[in-house]
Every structure is written in structure tokens, then in C-alpha cells.
Structure 1
Amino acid sequence: MSDLKKMYSTLQEDPFPAEMTLRLGDQELHYTKRTWTIDGQEKGLRYGENPDQPAALYQLDKGSLTLGGVTFRGPGAGLVSSLEEKHMIQAGKHPGKTNFTDVDNALNILQYLDAKPAALIMKHNNPSGAAWSGDGVATALERAFWCDRIAAFGGAVIVNRPLDKKAAELISSCYFEVVAAPDFEEGVVEMLKSRKNLRILQIPGISRLPELARMPFIDLKSLQDGGIIMQHSFRNRILSADDFLPATAEKDGVTVNARKPSPQEADDLLFAWAVEAGVTSNSVIFARNGATVSIGTGEQDRVGCVELAVHKAYTKYADTLAFREQGCSLYELKQKAAGDSAAAEALEDIEARTRADRGGLPGTAMVSDGFFPFRDGVDAAIAHGVAAIAQPGGSIRDHEVIMACNEAAPQVAMVFTGQRSFKH
């Protein structure tokens, strides 16, 4: 076992060159491989996606690119790729690819959440919980944590405001692998350093995210056969509630219109759609009062994605009750209940309340990264109390989907985003 554990701390020798040039027609982008001296050893990434995959990180340092009248991000806009040793306040071993890609995808989401202090907990390149709050970053982080306390274990915490002591107390009380912030209030770093295996990153460029949000970057996908797909990065067109489109559709000469969201519903849809930019497709997100309630990721069918998110909501709701009332996880309580009548009674009560409260889903807002090809996904969400929905629109059955909202009691609001938000 000890030998197996070594592979996670072993530094891979990468064979990649110190420089890389990407030529697109007569335009060039020049990149330099990043290395850092940590504990007296100069090295780049520890390894790639897995410990037996050598990897390298490159920073764009020269060149510019304009295609079709669109200017892409150039040198000087670095975030994760521009980190220096001084920004790795506590690094442990050299960082691996997944440490950086989790932080990077969090920044992809946070670029659309600048209006309020926001916090994300990332796990396997998806958010396990996300929240924003006018009451500060600590409140946002606490609410993100309770969205999915179980999945947060070993995750990466990323915030868009200086990290304060209250937020640091929560981080120090749990197991996280990474914390990243634009800055840290006095005394916070010392608190965080009590967790010896926690990587502490300062990313000053977080303050520039709203500016960068309007500038795309070149997004490259390598194919199994060595080919490359190049695309513009996703740009969120919903930057305020006013950017949503009315949900309306026509069928056989009859026009149907959905209820307009209330201001709070619209704010929750705006928040959830921003988070959706960083969630693996197919996906839906339930949110309430500026925090995710449940995130369904990576399903092959739309209604299945809704059902997954509903299942997760019920499970996490019951786990929160178990943890707060019984001092153990839902799964630990189930184990105890097998041979302990008091634990069995407590479990039965928690499960009954979870069913009665429908997993905390009544009144939530739901966003979907793709349109609903059938009304079944909407009906599945309405059955558990969803109050408002945002989705791209454009299905040949949009009229049926809107009718599902209009037939609900109380009537469910719906808006269109006018864009899809797939992420593969």
C-alpha cells in the first residue's frame, strides 16, 4: 500500500519542450512552459490527469490573434498559467493538472458572478456547490458547502473576494486540497497553514475576470487520432436578468406564453445559468436564494439528468439532517440503523421529513444547458416543486414544454436563454 501511495507524490519527468508556437495562417502565438522552484526543486506540473501521465503547462507570452473580426485573449491575461512561486503560498509538492484545471473551471464560472461575493467548491472539474451572497464570501462559502457536504470532501475552494477569517475557519475545519483567492485578509494565511496538505494559491487576476469575460480564447480539443478541433470559447450572453428571452412558442396557429419570473426567481436563474457554464453536459441545476441546491451532471438524456439532480437533492437533504442532528453521515446512520433501534427510528424520521419536504426543492429555480426535447424533464422537475425554469429554447416541442409550466399549480415561470451551454 505504501508503494501505491508514492505514485501520487512522485514527480514525473516531462519530455515537453520549453517553448511552443501555434501558427494560425500568418498569425503566431508563442507559449513558454511554466516551472516553479519548490523545496529547492525546479519542476513544472507534477503529472497530468493521472500519475503515470507526464504533463506540462504553457503560458501565452507573445503574439496576438484576430479571426473573423474577433480579437482573442492575448499575453498579460494569464490567471492560473501565470502563477509564480510567490503566489503558491503553500504548495506541498508541485501542482498536478487536476489541481489547476479545477481552479481554472471555477474561474470560468466566476467571471460571470462578479456582482456579489461568490464561492465555489470544485470536484473533478465540476462544482459540488456554488453560492453568491451580499453578506460576504464566508456566507457564500458556507452555503456552497452545505449544498453537498459529502462531495466537498477533498475539493478545491475558489472565491472571488479576499478570503476572511470566518471563511478560513470553515476551510480549516474540513478537508480540502486547494484554496484559491485574489487575496487573503490579515492572519488568514496563518490559519490555513495549519492544514499542511492544503495548497494555498493567490490569483490576483481574479479581479480582472469581468473584463476578460467578454474576450474569448482559443479552445482546443485533441482527438484520439491526433487531430485537433478549434473553437471559440463559450461566451455567456446572459449577463443580467434583462438578457433572458420570453418563453413563447406557436403551434397550429396558437401561441403559448410562459409566466415571467419574479425578481428573486430571475436572480436565481441568472446565478444558476452562470454556474452552468462550468458544468459537464447534459446537466441541470436547481438553485434557491443564490445557492445551488442540486447539480445533475453528465447524463445522456435530459429527463434522466433532472431525475439525477432530484435524487441528489433528496440524498443531500437527508444527509444534512443526519449530520446536524445525529453527528454522522446519512450512510453511517443507515449502518447504525441495521442493529440499533434508536438509530433506525431516527433514520425513519429523517427519511420521512425528506420526503415531506421534497428534498428542499419546492420554490427552486432550475436551469438546463440544452432545450427540452420533450416535456417529461419539465414535468419531473415540477413534481418536486420547481418554481421557475430557464432553458435555451428552440425545441420543436417548445409549446408542449411551456404548456407543462402553464398547467402546473402554482404556475411555473419559464424564460429562454437563446443559447446552449454544453460543455464536453
Structure 2
Amino acid sequence: MSDLKKMYSQIVADEFPETLKISLGEHEICYKKRTWNMDGEIRGLRYGENPDQPAALYAMESGKLALGNKKWRSAKSGISSMLTEKQMIQAGKHPGKTNLTDVDNAANILQYLTKKPAATILKHNNPCGTAWQSSLEEAMHKAFWADRIAAFGGAVVVNRALDKATAELISSQYFEVVAAPSFEEGAVDILKARKNLRIMELPQLGRLEEYCGIPFLDIKSLMDGGLILQQSFVNRIRTAQDFIPATAMDKEGKSYATRTASPEEVEDLLFAWAVEAGVTSNSVIFVKDGTTVGIGTGEQDRVGCVELTVHKAYTKFADSIIYHRHQKSLYEWQLLALKDKKAKEELDEVMAETAEKKGGLIGTRMVSDGFFPFRDGVDTAAAQGISAIAQPGGSLRDFEVIEACNEKNIAMLFTGQRSFKH
């Protein structure tokens, strides 16, 4: 067993070249391989997605992309790709590919959440919990309790200077990475108590508004060696005015529309759509008061994704109650309840409370990265007491979806934009 554990801490040598050049017609972009001098040793990435996959990180060094009449991100746009030895305050077990891509996707989300202190916890390149609040400490607290279970071993990324109170919260749990634009005095000392924690100071995380609306070249590699190039996703829903009223017409020419969303509902839908930019499709997100309540990712059907997210919310809600009372997970308590009568009675009470409060979903707002092809997804969410929905619109059955909303007095807005992320 000890030998097997070693593969997760070893650094895998790579044979990738020092430079990489991409020619797009007459334009050329040059990249430089990133390595770090650590303890007198030159190191690149620890390994790729798995310990037996060599990997290399490249940062854009020069060149300018000019496709169409758009402004594209340039060599000065690096965040995680430009990580330096100085910014790697503590290397822990040394960063690998997944650590940096988690930080990168967190920045992808946080670029749309700059007006408030925000914290997001990433795991497997998807957010576990995200919150924006009046203080960073509150945002971190709510992001963690949005999904305590999934947050274990995740990457914490924030958009404000990390203070001592927030550092205490982070240090009290197990995380792999913490990244912030800067650290207030004493915060790093608290975090360093976790010897394997990778601590990164990335100043650009405090200037993410500069990235909004500027795409980058998104390259997808195919298993046959081919490539697909696309413009990266750019969120067009950044103010209340960017939403489109949800209206539709049936085959007989009858018009349908939902009630107007309240300012509070719109604010939550804006927040949720920002988080959606970093979630693997097919997905839905439930949020309330600037905090994610349930995030469903990577499902093949829309209603199934809603069902999964509801199930996750119920599980996290019950787990939170048990953990606050006994410092045990829901799963640990369920095992105890198999042989302990009092534990079983308390578990039954907790599950009854969870069902009564619908896993904290009552009054939440939901976003969907794709349109609802049928009303079943909305009906499933409506049964949990949601109050508002944002979704792309454009289904042949939009009128049926609107009708489902009206039966439960749910407001709905269209984004006019799909947010798939494969």
C-alpha cells in the first residue's frame, strides 16, 4: 500500500520542448514552457491528469491573435499559467495539471463576480460551492457549507485579499490549493500549518474585470490527433437588462409570458449564470442569496440533471445538520444508526426535517445551461419550491415551459445564450 501511495507524490519527467509555436494563417503565437526552481531543482508540472501522464505547462510569451475584428487575450493575460516561484508561497506536494486547471476555471467563474467579495471551491474542474457576500469570510463560509462533502481536497480561489479570519476557515478543513490576489498580514502563517497545502498568490485574481468580454483561443484535442479551435465562451448576461423576458407562442398563436422577476431574484440569477460558465454541461444550478445550494453537472438529460441536483441538495442539507451536531458525516451517522437506536431516531428526525424544508431549495432560483426541451425539468424543480428560473430559451415547447412556471407562479427569464461546457 505504501508503494502505491508514492505515485501520487512523485514528479513525472516530461519530454515536451521548451517552446511551442502555433501559426494561424499569417499570425504566430509563441509559448514558453513553465518550470520552477524549487530547492535547487528545476521542476515542471508534477504530472498530468493521472500520475502516469507526463505533462507540461506553457504560457503565452509573444504574438498577437487577430481573427475577425475581435480583441483577444494576449501574452499579458496569464494567471495560473504565469505562476512564478515567488507566487508559489508554499508548494505542498508540488502542483500538477488538475491543480492549475481548477484555479483556472475558478478565475473563469470569478471574472463575472467582481463587484463583491467571492469565494469558489473547485473539485474535478467543477465548482462544489460558490458564494459572493459582503465579506470574504462570509463568502468562504457559505461556499464551504454549500457542499462540505465535495469540498474535501478541493481548490479554494478568492477575488479579494485573503484575511486572517478567512485563512482560519480554510485551515480548519482539508484543501489541496488556495489561491488569492494577495494575503493580509498573518494569513499565510495560518495557512502554512497545512504542510501539503499549495498556497498561490496571483495578483490578477484581483483584476478579473479586465478579462470580461475578451475571448481566448480554446483548443480541443481529438483522440485521433485532430484539433477543434473555437472562441472561448463569453458570458453576455452581466446586468439585469441583459436578460430577455420569457415569452412564447403556441401553434394556435396564443401568447405566453411569466410574471416579472423581483430584483432579488434577478440578482441571484445573474450570480448563478456567472457560476454556470464554469460548470460542465448538461447542468443546472440552484442558488439563494448569493450562494449555490445545489450544482448538477455532466448529465445526459435535462430532467435527470434536475433530479440529481435535488438529490444532492437534500444529501448536503442533512449532512450539514449531522456534522454541526456531531462532527460526523451523514454517511458515518447512517452506519451508526444501523446498530444504535438513538442514532436511528435522530437520523429519522433529520431526514424528516430535510424533507420538510426540501433540502433548503424552497425559495431558490435555478439556471439551466441549455433550454428545457419539455416541461418536466421545470415541474421537477417547481415541486421543490423554487421562485425563478433563467435559461437560454429557444425550445419548440417554450410555451409549455412557461405554462408550467405560471402554474406555480415562477418567474422566468431567457438568456438568449447557451452555456454548454464540454
State TM-score, norm by structure 1: 0.98
Contact between 2:294 and 2:312, CA under 8 Å: does it hold in 1?
yes
Contact between 2:94 and 2:198, CA under 8 Å: does it hold in 1?
no
- Residue deviations 1:20-72 (CA, integer Å, cap 9, x gap): 10000000000000000112210110100000000000010110011111121
> Unpaired segments of 5 or more residues in structure 2?
none
Deviation at 1:75, TM superposition (A): 1.1
Partner in structure 2 of residue 208 of structure 1: 207
Partner SS state of residue 157, structure 2:
strand
Which one of 410, 414, 417 corresponds to residue 416 of structure 1? 414
CA distance in 1, matches of 2:139, 2:94: 29
Contact between 2:93 and 2:196, CA under 8 Å: does it hold in 1?
no
CA distance in 1, matches of 2:167, 2:86: 20
Deviation at 1:93, TM superposition (A): 3.5
CA distance in 2, matches of 1:229, 1:150: 35
Contact between 1:38 and 1:93, CA under 8 Å: does it hold in 2?
no
Contact between 1:44 and 1:94, CA under 8 Å: does it hold in 2?
no
1:312 aligns with 2:312: yes
**1:232-311 → structure 2 map (5 Å cutoff):** 232-251=231-250, 252-311=252-311
Deviates further, 247-256 or 219-228: 247-256
Contact between 1:123 and 1:151, CA under 8 Å: does it hold in 2?
yes
CA distance in 1, matches of 2:275, 2:70: 25
Partner in structure 2 of residue 199 of structure 1: 198
CA 1:327–1:43: 2 relative to 1, 3 Å: closer
Deviation at 1:243, TM superposition (A): 0.8
Contact between 2:21 and 2:31, CA under 8 Å: does it hold in 1?
yes
Paired amino acid for 2:276: E
Deviation at 1:18, TM superposition (A): 0.2
Partner SS state of residue 75, structure 2:
coil
Deviation at 1:333, TM superposition (A): 0.8
- Residue deviations 1:244-302 (CA, integer Å, cap 9, x gap): 11000011211101112111110000000000000000000000000000000100000
CA distance in 2, matches of 1:388, 1:112: 20
- Residue deviations 1:50-101 (CA, integer Å, cap 9, x gap): 0000000001011001111112111111101111000000002331000000
Partner in structure 2 of residue 87 of structure 1: 87
Deviation at 1:207, TM superposition (A): 2.3
Question: Percent of aligned positions with the same letter in both sequences?
Answer: 64
Paired amino acid for 2:6: K
Contact between 2:219 and 2:228, CA under 8 Å: does it hold in 1?
yes
Partner in structure 1 of residue 62 of structure 2: 62
Deviation at 1:325, TM superposition (A): 2.0
Paired amino acid for 2:390: A
Partner in structure 1 of residue 368 of structure 2: 368
Partner SS state of residue 86, structure 1:
coil
**1:15-26 → structure 2 map (5 Å cutoff):** 15-26=15-26
CA distance in 2, matches of 1:325, 1:94: 36
**1:17-166 → structure 2 map (5 Å cutoff):** 17-134=17-134, 136-166=135-165
Partner SS state of residue 420, structure 2:
coil
Contact between 1:371 and 1:393, CA under 8 Å: does it hold in 2?
yes
Deviates further, 85-94 or 300-309: 85-94
- Residue deviations 1:139-188 (CA, integer Å, cap 9, x gap): 00000000001111101100000001111111111000100000000000
Paired amino acid for 1:130: T
CA distance in 2, matches of 1:392, 1:93: 42
Which 4+ runs in 1 deviate beyond 4 A?
none
CA distance in 1, matches of 2:92, 2:14: 19
Paired amino acid for 1:311: H
RMSD: 0.7
- Residue deviations 1:280-332 (CA, integer Å, cap 9, x gap): 00000000000000000100000000000000011000001111123311111
- Residue deviations 1:389-422 (CA, integer Å, cap 9, x gap): 00000000000000000011xx000000010000
How many residues align structurally? 421
